[in-house]
Amino acid sequence: MSALILEGSPKTPTVNFDPETGFLELRGRSIPENSIDFYKPLIDWLDKYGRSPQPKTALHVQLEYFNTSSSKCILDLFKKLEGVRATGNEVTVLWHYEADDEDMLEAGEDYAGIINIPFKMIQIEEVDGGDQ
Amino acid sequence: MLQTIHDLYDELERHRVMLSFQGPLSTDLITALLGAVERKMEGLEPDQRTRRRVFNVVMECLQNLFHHNANITVQGGTAHSTDQPHGVVMIAQADQGYQVLTGNFMAGADMDRLKDHLDRINALPPDQLREFYRETLADGTYSAKGGGGLGMIDIARKSGGKLEYGFVPYDKDKAFFSLNVNVTN
């Protein structure tokens, strides 16, 4: 299967899902009006990846903003990865937040409380918004 | 008309309005309005957390206008159907933070449910509001627009205060909904 690479926009994140290394990345902003449309290819990709995943998968989430319509879709991404983990593979979510962005840290903790995947909270200096 | 422009200028100045818009909303226009808010906030507000919270609240409020809209406009007291959502938004500086005001026509049938939802949110202290957010996020149901009832909870969390709202029934199946969100720093 091929990598999923999407360039970021003012309302959608940069996506880089690499099936060869298990390195998955979501970076920038996720504030589209129609999140379900944007996330469908990502969820479909993970569905396919889950059939022959790498022994180690790491999803790096580094978002500056996300809207509530994205939040359910992001949960769906995590649920797909929960499935990958349930079949005996190592899965980690690396949740990045800016040092003074308590709200983003809380959002990561909210997901970590719902999803059965180890989360690593990573404090950074400034979120790189990608190609905006 | 020329005097009206001056009065309008005065009025907006007096209420420290940063941005106001009334009319049809498209996704492109929402992007442009958010860009304007972001740039203005950078010049006005030194606290990054407040800047982010205002941006978040404005974004959710505009997307609410966009998604939950009866698609009518009223001109000269008569309602006209439109093919685009219509609404009004005003963002103003307040003594302690910012005010985000929005208004739009919505389906009257949804009024009671929205009112109950807002009253429930307003009754919860911050820790329980976070719990309500988590439960709503985890319950796995989607609304037609994808948010699944998270929008207002998120707005309340970012605001840190109570949501002020009002409904003006317009006709048997439409009501005008107004929301005032105070983001305090």
The dihedral region occupied by B138, where left means phi > 0, alpha psi between -120 and 50, and beta the remainder, is: alpha
Q: What is the ipTM of this complex?
A: 0.91
Q: Terminal CA-to-CA distance of chain A, rounded, Å?
A: 29
Phi, psi of B168 (to 5 degrees): -120, 110
* B144: confidence class by pLDDT, cuts 50, 70, 90: low
Q: Which domain holds residue A116?
A: 4-124
CATH number for the domain that contains residue A78: 3.30.750
Question: Residue B153: its chain A contacts at CB < 8 A?
Answer: 68
What pLDDT is attached to residue A26?
A: 98
Phi, psi of A90 (to 5 degrees): -85, 125
Taking CB atoms and an 8 Å limit, are A65 and B30 in contact across chains?
A: no
Taking CB atoms and an 8 Å limit, are A36 and B31 in contact across chains?
A: no
Does the structure show a pLDDT above 90 at A78?
yes
What's the mean pLDDT in B154-176?
93
Taking CB atoms and an 8 Å limit, are B63 and A67 in contact across chains?
A: yes
Taking CB atoms and an 8 Å limit, are A103 and B142 in contact across chains?
A: no
What's the mean pLDDT in A89-96?
98
Q: Is residue A130 part of a domain?
A: no
Taking CB atoms and an 8 Å limit, are B30 and A103 in contact across chains?
A: no
Question: Residue B145: its chain A contacts at CB < 8 A?
Answer: 69
What's the mean pLDDT in B109-133?
95
What pLDDT is attached to residue B82?
A: 85
Q: Which residue has the tokens 């800047």?
A: B51
Q: Which residues pair with B114 in a beta bridge?
A: none
Asked: is B2-183 a CATH 3.30.565.10 domain? The reply is yes
Q: Is residue A132 part of a domain?
A: no
Beta strands in chain A (DSSP E): 4-6, 14-18, 23-30, 56-66, 90-98, 119-124
Q: Is residue A131 part of a domain?
A: no
What's the mean pLDDT in B74-80?
80
For chain B, give the mean pLDDT.
Answer: 91
pLDDT in tens, A13-50: 999 999 999 999 999 999 999 999 999 999 999 999 99
Q: Count of domains in chain A?
A: 1
Q: How far is residue A50's CA from residue A81's CA, in Å, rounded to a whole number?
A: 8
Does the structure show a pLDDT above 90 at B171?
no
Which of B55, B128, B136, B154 has the highest number of chain A CBs within 10 A, making it the mutation to test binding with A? B154
A76 touches B at CB < 8 Å: no
Whether B179 contacts B137, CB under 8 Å? no
**Of the candidate ranges B30-34, B82-86, B145-149, the one whose mean pLDDT is the lowest:** B145-149
Q: B101 CA to chain A: closest CA distance, Å?
A: 18
Helices and strands, number each (H, E), in chain B? 6, 7
Tell me the CA distances in angstroms from B47 to A108, A125, B1, one per residue in order. 22, 15, 40
